Structure 1
Amino acid sequence: MHGNEEEHGETMEDEATPWRSKNGEILWSPTHREVVPFFPPPILTPGPTHFAIARISSPETAFDLFFTEEILQLILHFTNLQGRRSVKQWKDVSEEELRAYLGLLILAGMYRSQHESTKCLWNSETGRPIFAASMAQKRFLQINLALRFDDRLSRPERHRREKLAPIIDLWSKWSTRLPKFFNPGRDICIDEQLVPFRGRCSFKQYMPSKPGKYGLKIWALCDVQTSYAWRLQVYTGKSATREVNQGMRVVLQLTDELEGHTVTTDNFFTSFPLAEELQKRRMALVGTLRINKPELPPQLLSVKGREVLSSVFGFSHNKTVVSYVPRKGKNVLLLSTRHREPEVQGSGKKKPQIILDYNRCKGAVDHLDQVCGTYSCRRQTRRWPMCLFYHMLDVSCYNAYMLFTAVDPGWNSTKNYRRRLFLEEVGRALVTPAMAARKCLPRGPFAASLVLKASRQVHGQEEEEEEEEEEEEGPQPGASRKRKQCALCTQRRRFVQ
């Protein structure tokens, strides 16, 4: 009996003995007896903000939140400036034409025609009639050729200070609007995106784990439940001075103005200094860790002799680290400032609760990439600003869809292709005014019928508004009723009273 008591006493002492980290600054306890309980602070009600709800009445109005008149005027100014310089017989682009251009890009993405040539899209036999009905192919190519977001002549001087000079003004105006319309939920995810591009660019990145492999890297913060892109930041390459702990800087910049949320990151971003900084902002961190962190104790790094599917926990005052062995010789390390107990799955692979929560939240940015790529409006281009512009359009369409369906949950709720219907409605709403304003009918009979239909729709609305005004004013004595232009006629006629 004495021997058993002595062995049991030694085991209890070993369990209570703290583990010292490799740098000797942190003491880790194998038990959670002395940890401080975690109480998440309150957050704003997740979902669209009151500012967005008051302005959304249709899919088109949801899209207009991101591409405002100010943004369109910026594009118009520099596009017309470039067109006058480089395109013969240039005719200035109007706001109506620019919206139609955006609508055609969205429709091309909705039809999954991003790899189709422009000639095929406008073909009367193999293409879609709505393209020829909205705009002539030559005009579309002119706008596409002249589309600019800055003054090309002043670019070299600005490029010395800012690598994003060709699109920085547009990107700044657009990206600052993303957080205004949505409050993220409790869980948010930060990861990297890769916008595929193989042309010339000084900060093009190679990422073999991504489908495109080459492209422009963007740091993204997304809401876990909806994958709403809340904040984006373009990575422009290494700075002149060597940057230490880049991942920490990115997370702190993206989470600025947030409080009370749980941030999920991978091992590129996760670090102990980051966890402490986020705790000062009343935020929690859950993420995978690299084994070279000096704050880890040796007891969590060695997996020799450990059973498969076993978990070892280490607790400090307000942090938890877990070491999980999914297979022989493999060690998975995670850090959490939200979990304070050694919870492990009862069956199956016996994963710790920290890993289950991490797996649930880690794919928000990847899901955003997937949904944007499904109906992407990207076209082949050699200019990286255009590549970034297409990505802005894709993200805007997805964010607008999430806002609109949150404001009107019953819209086409029984259909499983709601996003496709949303993109189609946005694209048609953008091209209809330009379609109705065409002076000459296109050659194709189906395209011509679409133009006449749009003309009747627009003119019918105008006539209804005029009749309502006349009814409000009442008939004036001695005034005769004026004859109106027929909606089907293409030439204007003079009527004799």
Structure 2
Amino acid sequence: QSDTEEAFIDEVHEVQPTSSGSEILDEQNVIEQPGSSLASNRILTLPQRTIRGKNKHCWSTSKSTRRSRVSALNIVRSQRGPTRMCRNIYDPLLCFKLFFTDEIISEIVKWTNAEISLKRRESMTGATFRDTNEDEIYAFFGILVMTAVRKDNHMSTDDLFDRSLSMVYVSVMSRDRFDFLIRCLRMDDKSIRPTLRENDVFTPVRKIWDLFIHQCIQNYTPGAHLTIDEQLLGFRGRCPFRMYIPNKPSKYGIKILMMCDSGTKYMINGMPYLGRGTQTNGVPLGEYYVKELSKPVHGSCRNITCDNWFTSIPLAKNLLQEPYKLTIVGTVRSNKREIPEVLKNSRSRPVGTSMFCFDGPLTLVSYKPKPAKMVYLLSSCDEDASINESTGKPQMVMYYNQTKGGVDTLDQMCSVMTCSRKTNRWPMALLYGMINIACINSFIIYSHNVSSKGEKVQSRKKFMRNLYMSLTSSFMRKRLEAPTLKRYLRDNISNILPNEVPGTSDDSTEEPVTKKRTYCTYCPSKIRRKA
């Protein structure tokens, strides 16, 4: 692994398989392959040359020709890492702006100001209700990034901006202004939303999401091994495509299908699952999402690892053809009609054994890790019947275990330091998710660029702290220019920004200015004692 991967990715540790018993298979004419080694004893062969599934799909029980260890289908000639326009970027803010570009921020500012003008009444004349700008939106993002670093994202705004607890947030903007921006933040034209929503329920975020995904694709060249899986953005409010997934920590939320680099966990492409609003043109749902998510790498001979919600025999064959030219490794559900009955579980079959069958470049393995469990794994990488000598598992299973966790690890990294706040609006939940992804993707690009120079890569936590400073410093400097800014805020901002001195400006003269005498704020008004 590269230095970039070692900075923030944990290695996958394999679980040793259960030791097999000494039983001999009597049923289904299955015999154990002769040989004394562990690998040969773990492979069960069939006397038949061909076997068939319930739908008459024909499989061969032996590989016709000997293949090389690395198939020509998986020779990727491009090098993994940031694209040319993203190299030599070492500043956290510039890395972040690769994903939240000026165009995205301008869209947010435009429609947020439109919402502010609707909500602002004649009595709302203070600074809290003024129009926003690009610097303030970046500062708003900076506050969210710092809540992720300090794990303050679930704190109420009263506690978040309490001076007795911390001055980190109140130095950037007031609590009332932060709340007002959250209420007014919009990413689309609210006036034409009902018309567009008839054809696309994702309309409130569609343009910003497409721009963001375009940047994720353009900024990075993935490696040879990719992972497609799902992420659930926790959300319990009203949403036409909210999902319930009981095995996820959030259980309720917005399902995002993602394709990530299995090595660096960089998110390359992502699509929301819109439920009934998904138009697949008759293509099975899993196959549709695999083909759509893999569009950036079509024709590149890369491999995709996915679970049984996506994997199917027709999809594996289809991806080998033009224009896809991709291979796939994934688990297969036991109810697929292409799986022969002879490969399915048998009580007399020893634990830890494997059975292989072949159909051209396709390889299907039936592996029994536990007495009451059977795993079916499909590969289109032109695999042979090989077993890992140290673990006794098929090499296909070993490869799947090493590459299956790309999206799951990314999701875990998002949950460890997340800026997501409680909200009743699902577009805001998606915006929080995009900020989390942007922080991780920008850190991956930063880490690759720094390690390429031979320098030490800072931790992700320190990277996000520096990102907070870069996002908020410009807005805090402008805030210092306000003549009505309170003294404690001015002093604290000056401490945060080392180059700023309280009460000084660029055009100040060296001659001391006599301070005007004012009434003492501590004495009763009757005394009128000068301070």
Question: Which of residues 19, 26, 43 in structure 1 aligns to 2:77?
Answer: 43
**TM-score normalised to structure 2 length:** 0.80
Contact 2:76 2:224 in 1 (8 A): no
Query: Structure 1 residue 29 and structure 2 residue 69: aligned?
Result: no
> Could you tell me which residue of structure 2 aligns to residue 450 of structure 1?
492
Shift of the alpha carbon at 1:441?
6.9
Contact 2:414 2:436 in 1 (8 A): yes
Question: Which of residues 315, 321, 327 in structure 2 aligns to 1:284?
Answer: 327
Shift of the alpha carbon at 1:412?
11
Distance 2:353 2:268 in 1: 37
Q: Which amino acid aligns with 1:99?
A: Y
Query: Structure 1 residue 125 and structure 2 residue 164: aligned?
Result: yes
Deviations 1:327-346 (A, max 9, x none): 11321100011252211122
Question: Which of residues 433, 439, 453 in structure 2 aligns to 1:397?
Answer: 439
Question: Which of residues 68, 75, 80 in structure 1 aligns to 2:108?
Answer: 75
Query: Structure 1 residue 332 and structure 2 residue 363: aligned?
Result: no
Shift of the alpha carbon at 1:163?
0.2
Task: Please give the residue correspondences for 1:73-472 in structure 2 after superposition, counting only pairs within 5 Å.
Answer: 73-88=106-121, 89=124, 90-126=129-165, 128-239=166-277, 243-258=282-297, 259-280=300-321, 281-348=324-391, 350-409=392-451, 418-438=459-479, 439-440=482-483, 443=486, 445=488, 447-453=489-495, 457=499
> Could you tell me which residue of structure 2 aligns to residue 495 of structure 1?
none
Q: Which amino acid aligns with 2:64?
A: R
- 1:99–1:311: structure 2 CA closer, same or farther, 3 Å change rule? same
- 1:248–1:14: structure 2 CA closer, same or farther, 3 Å change rule? closer
Query: Any gaps of 5 or more consecutive residues in structure 1?
Result: 1-10, 467-482, 492-497
Match of 1:321, SS?
strand
- 1:241–1:172: structure 2 CA closer, same or farther, 3 Å change rule? closer
Query: Any gaps of 5 or more consecutive residues in structure 2?
Result: 1-32, 35-44, 516-531
Distance 1:410 1:272 in 2: 41
Matched residue count: 455
Contact 1:459 1:487 in 2 (8 A): no
Shift of the alpha carbon at 1:301?
1.9
Match of 2:373, SS?
coil
Contact 2:234 2:250 in 1 (8 A): yes
Shift of the alpha carbon at 1:151?
2.1
Q: Which amino acid aligns with 2:474?
A: P
Distance 1:172 1:488 in 2: 56
The runs of at least 4 consecutive aligned structure 1 residues that moved more than 3 Å come to: 11-16, 33-37, 239-244, 410-415, 440-445, 453-456, 483-489
- 1:53–1:240: structure 2 CA closer, same or farther, 3 Å change rule? closer
> Could you tell me which residue of structure 1 aligns to residue 97 of structure 2?
64
Distance 1:60 1:409 in 2: 18
- 1:393–1:237: structure 2 CA closer, same or farther, 3 Å change rule? same
Distance 1:276 1:209 in 2: 31
Shift of the alpha carbon at 1:268?
0.6
Deviations 1:97-150 (A, max 9, x none): 111111111111111001111111111111x21211111211111111110111
Shift of the alpha carbon at 1:414?
5.9
Distance 1:198 1:151 in 2: 25
Give me the identity figure in percent.
Answer: 30
Contact 1:35 1:318 in 2 (8 A): no
- 1:30–1:431: structure 2 CA closer, same or farther, 3 Å change rule? same
Contact 1:150 1:166 in 2 (8 A): yes
Distance 1:487 1:80 in 2: 43
> Could you tell me which residue of structure 1 aligns to residue 524 of structure 2?
none
- 1:485–1:260: structure 2 CA closer, same or farther, 3 Å change rule? farther
- 1:14–1:273: structure 2 CA closer, same or farther, 3 Å change rule? closer
Distance 1:149 1:334 in 2: 43
**TM-score normalised to structure 1 length:** 0.85
Deviations 1:387-426 (A, max 9, x none): 00000000001000000010012899768x7000000001
Shift of the alpha carbon at 1:298?
2.0
Contact 1:103 1:428 in 2 (8 A): yes
- 1:432–1:411: structure 2 CA closer, same or farther, 3 Å change rule? farther
Shift of the alpha carbon at 1:291?
1.5
Contact 2:201 2:277 in 1 (8 A): no
Shift of the alpha carbon at 1:15?
3.3
Match of 1:437, SS?
helix
Task: Kindly indicate which of the two structures has a greater share of residues assigned to helix.
Answer: 1
RMSD over equivalenced CA pairs, Å: 2.8
Distance 2:397 2:171 in 1: 53
- 1:76–1:25: structure 2 CA closer, same or farther, 3 Å change rule? same
Shift of the alpha carbon at 1:41?
2.9
